[in-house]
Structure 1
């Protein structure tokens, strides 16, 4: 397809991005202009909102490093390699995770990764001997904090692993990252059979920090966070945040409202998409203290 004639070639074989670019006489010169192209394409009904969200997610991921999305070490759920099944099984069941870093004495000494499914062969075999973690753990993938998220996703897919342990420049464990963490940045919250509507709008990240969709209705936000935001001031929590800023905030801007720290995670010139919310210490969230979650 020629750069001078965007309409040349076989129209049926054009990619989605080629069709979008055809609508405009000029080419976007930076990411902000490209986002405006996507906004205009959605307004013209050329792409669906979900498609636009995914494209914006891809743009965001291209700038991110692992340190921006990892689960910090203080909130990693680990198993000690010397633990027996009876000792670590409650951890597996309560967390509902599928993969667990296995440590030796402390978190900076990762021996490997336990896949919960690898325990099934022992759980349904009455004659099986007591399982030894050393015999069933898989190698841990170690990556630096500075690694870019985009190539990591490619490695996850090509090498068929789903979790990596993140280390700092001194070799100490900083946290972990999963393929689901990256995919959710692109396609939004990945739902499972345990999710309900409210959980799809509000995602617990770690400690007292949550990711919240800007379009979450005020009454839902108040219910989940035991908060008292005025439902007459705006319909959504994003509306409350914009009203308090007094302008359309850029990505990365923060503001404190009623003790809640709101940070804009994703936004364009017309709307906020995602917020990161730090809940006040010792504040009850969904029936539990925020620090205890």
Structure 2
């Protein structure tokens, strides 16, 4: 066969090798989740997905074509080299063909396919489907031997199942989609993913901050409290919060006063049953519990049944979408007070979940939930005013202690105050 014809055949074989190399990389690196989404509107995407359902058959067809092209190209190159350079031609042809295949039929097409896997896979899917159909008997025989070999070493070949994704992997996907998803939507998605890691006790209103109605108070005092409250639900108790008798929806009290002056007995009649939840429940579970029980308000108890706090459906929603009405900067300024010497006076009841991101700290949150609780847990005693300690290399001074709680703490370091001013 003349050298020009052999040269044309060699170029065609190299192009085929490049095609199969690009197909292999494009098919194997395509985003399976995006592909599943595109199958709703794209016929090419459906072809690719069908091919990927049996990756052993797909790879069998691709590698069969690729190896046939490479081996035949090597044979033709050897014939041409012997004619041109005699006995040394085989060695020369092997060296030159290795470089040519590596650059033009392997690295370049595979790199291109790795950058544009969808374009390569979609455009090649029709050709690959036809090749797989034509070569199916040969591919089946090859796969039978290769799969048999894999079974001997304990590997089972099954039809490709739908890929699952863990919450941590999904969180990474959301972070990497920063340029395609707005910051608000990204924060909401991350908030939903974090519900499983946050428990009720992390966001509940603690017992000492619960506002409720003592049914044993004077009726006029109760009416005055109802008239000025800003809450939708109020727990009702007798003398002590642990003696809870029900939960009042404020609109029910308004109906009572709209019709007549009202009495304590009428107030008792409209009380809802108390819904108790354990403090270790995750927010994701509690959100479902609120839905299943058709509740929006719950009281949190510990393992001994003692009241620890309360939580509402709105509290969980705020973990997802952020504060509804409160300006976080102004709210933070209420418990963080910069001083002239560069230190910060911080309310001891400040939640560590708020304090850490606000000041860029890394205070441990696996135990106590507030700054006061963290210091007491660290010192293993209730300190006196003036006591100093260092937690995670952060120097702290207890300024005020009241009712067995740390009221005010001074932190000495360099921070950016929530208002945006650097505290030095």
Please give the TM-score of this superposition, normalised by the length of structure 1.
Answer: 0.60
Q: CA RMSD in A?
A: 4.0
| Change beyond 3 A, Cα 1:257–1:160 | farther
Counterpart residue number, 1:280 = 408
Match of 2:220 among 86, 90, 96: 86
Counterpart residue number, 1:100 = 234
Partners of 1:35 and 1:230 lie apart in 2 by 41
Q: How far is the alpha carbon of 1:83 from its aligned partner?
A: 3.5
Greater share of residues in strand: 1
Partners of 2:335 and 2:302 lie apart in 1 by 35
| Change beyond 3 A, Cα 1:51–1:9 | same
Q: How far is the alpha carbon of 1:140 from its aligned partner?
A: 0.9
The question of 1:130 aligning with 2:263 is answered yes
Counterpart residue number, 1:6 = 33
Residues 1-293 of structure 1 mapped to structure 2, 5 A cutoff: 5-11=32-38, 31=168, 34-42=170-178, 44=179, 46-125=180-259, 127=260, 129-132=262-265, 133-191=267-325, 195=326, 199-203=327-331, 212=332, 221=333, 225-228=336-339, 241-242=359-360, 249=362, 252=365, 280=408
Contact 1:100 1:113 in 2 (8 A): yes
| Change beyond 3 A, Cα 1:135–1:87 | same
When Rg is computed on C-alpha atoms for both structures, the one with the higher figure is 2
Q: How far is the alpha carbon of 1:11 from its aligned partner?
A: 3.0
Q: How far is the alpha carbon of 1:259 from its aligned partner?
A: 6.1
Contact 1:122 1:131 in 2 (8 A): no
Aligned length: 219
Contact 2:296 2:313 in 1 (8 A): yes
Contact 1:81 1:111 in 2 (8 A): no
Counterpart residue number, 1:20 = none
Q: How far is the alpha carbon of 1:94 from its aligned partner?
A: 4.1
Unpaired runs of at least 5, structure 1: 15-22, 204-211, 213-220, 232-236, 262-277, 283-293
- Give secondary structure in 2 for the equivalent of 1:280: strand
| Change beyond 3 A, Cα 1:225–1:10 | closer
Q: How far is the alpha carbon of 1:149 from its aligned partner?
A: 1.6
- Give secondary structure in 1 for the equivalent of 2:185: helix
Counterpart residue number, 2:86 = none
Q: How far is the alpha carbon of 1:167 from its aligned partner?
A: 1.1
Contact 2:205 2:309 in 1 (8 A): yes
- Give secondary structure in 1 for the equivalent of 2:33: coil
Partners of 2:278 and 2:224 lie apart in 1 by 31
Counterpart residue number, 1:275 = none
Question: Does 1 or 2 have the higher relative contact order (CA < 8 Å, sep 6+)?
Answer: 1
Partners of 1:60 and 1:97 lie apart in 2 by 27
Q: How far is the alpha carbon of 1:64 from its aligned partner?
A: 1.8
| Change beyond 3 A, Cα 1:148–1:119 | same
Contact 1:259 1:279 in 2 (8 A): no
Q: How far is the alpha carbon of 1:170 from its aligned partner?
A: 1.2
